[in-house]
Amino acid sequence: MDFNDTKEEAEFRVEARSFLEKHLKPKDANSPRRPSGEDFLKRAKEWQKTKAEGGFAQITWPKEWGGRGGSSMQQVIWNQEESKFDAPTGPFTIGLGMCVPTVIAFGSDEHKKRYVEKALRGEEIWCQLFSEPAAGSDVAGVKTRAIKDGDEWVINGQKVWTTGAHFSDYGIVLTRTDPKAPKHKGLTMFIVDMHQQGVEAKPIHQASGGREFNEVYFTDVRIPDSDRLGEVGDGWKVALVTLMNERLAVGGSPGPDWKEIMEYARDTGSLSDQAFREKLADWYVAAQGYSLTKFRTQTALSRGGTPGPENSIGKIITANQLQDICNSAIEMQDHYGIMNDTDTMPANALFQQSFMWAPGLRIAGGTDEILKNIIAERVLGLPQDVRVDKKVPFDELKQG
């Protein structure tokens, strides 16, 4: 494991930091963790355009698509440096991290010419339409139907927990095109215009006060066959590419870590509590272990290699630790811990806000249980769970 930049990487880090210092303010304690609203969306689009013009948007993408044609390690370095600044990146995480890479992998040349550069420059925002009310974390359990009608497909159904659907321009939607096939075999993916007739996004009011998730309804939505991604019935293969990118994109947690709760405990005198100090040590050890694991990934990238399966553990560690840290901080505040007012609570109610967000992070990008199954089966080589529905036609499965 090599903790040091090469000469070329160090030069790129200086270049990246200089660009960031020119355009953004460093992140501080007052920087909002989960900003939203029209002003934030406008600022995010402006920043995405600025990054693209400076050659720092999606660094590994080819120049003909608006990227830099750089290395994976350069992208890692950029992400590290950008995270130190008040960068409004949220609205583009899903599109550029999950949706557009799927379009690049399975779309036509016309798709790439039409969509990639516009997304890269912040002109269009994308969302991912997978989850459904009755399917839970079983992505292959989707019921949203797509029926062929000439050169078009007619889509009817409902998606849920779709982040950013209410301000997105386009999305990738997973549908069932063959209910007679087993659930993993009868799926097909499409590009959908989120502004077209029959598409309705309804924001969900969350416990934290945010409204970034949505229910999305499709009523006789017509999509041309030319906007299909992959072959008919090959949607599971396409979806897996999206899901692998998703688990990398949501691997970290945008909330307080062990350093922040240690500072808070120091201010309140809780550092004298032996039980709290033991917890603090556990959080520190877990964070350092995850940090070293990321260094292994960065070393592989730096040497031109491919990251290994160690990336699967990131979200399990960080999401659970975030929830535990916030719960402990709220307990320190005793009966005041139930208050969620940003003007009166310590750390601008950061611990309360993050505590209510943390359960969602443990679901997004695959639940803890699903990720543990992936690690067990694909990393450790343990026997697969028994799946009695694996070869049963979807329309014969017990519903409800």
Distance CA 99, CA 88 (A): 19
For the chain, give me the number of helices (H) and strands (E)?
A: 13, 8
Residues 267, 225, single domain; the answer is no
SS3 of 365, please?
A: coil
Residues 269, 219, single domain; the answer is no
Structure tokens at 346: 């310590």
Domain count across the chain: 3
SS3 of 218, please?
A: strand
Question: Beta partners for 204?
Answer: none
Of the candidates 9, 246, 331, 396, the residue annotated as catalytic is: 246
Residues 293, 208, single domain; the answer is no
Domain contains 385? no
Distance CA 119, CA 71 (A): 20
Write the DSSP string, 90-123.
HHHHHIIIIIHHHHHHHS-HHHIIIIIHHHHTTS
> What pLDDT was estimated at residue 21?
97
Residues 255, 364, single domain; the answer is yes
Q: What is the pLDDT along the chain (400 residues), one digit of tens a residue?
A: 556 788 999 999 999 999 999 999 998 755 556 667 889 999 999 999 999 999 999 998 888 888 899 988 888 899 889 989 999 998 999 999 899 999 999 999 999 999 999 999 999 999 999 999 988 778 889 999 999 999 999 999 999 999 999 999 999 999 999 999 999 999 999 999 999 999 999 999 877 677 888 999 999 999 999 999 999 999 999 998 887 766 555 555 567 899 999 999 998 889 999 999 999 999 999 999 888 877 776 666 566 655 555 667 888 888 899 999 999 999 999 888 888 777 778 777 888 888 888 888 888 777 888 888 888 888 888 998 888 888 889 888 877 6
CA geometry: angle at 368 spanning 137 and 357, to 5°?
85
| Residue located via tokens 């999206």 | 242
Residues 140, 196, single domain; the answer is yes
List the domain range (segments joined by +) for residue 61: 7-88
CATH code of 68's domain: 1.10.540.10
Segment 355-392, tens digit of pLDDT: 888 888 888 777 888 888 888 888 888 998 888 888 88
Cβ-based neighbours of 25, under 8 Å, separated by 6 or more = 85, 86
Distance CA 120, CA 53 (A): 10
**Cα dihedral 9/10/12/15 (nearest 10):** 170
Residues 237, 314, single domain; the answer is no
Domain contains 103? no
| Amino acid letter for position 41 | L
Of the three residues 181, 216, 248, the one that is the final residue of a domain is 248
Sequence length of the chain is 400
The answer to whether 216 touches 172, Cβ cutoff 8 Å, is: no
Domain contains 176? yes
Whether 246 is catalytic is yes
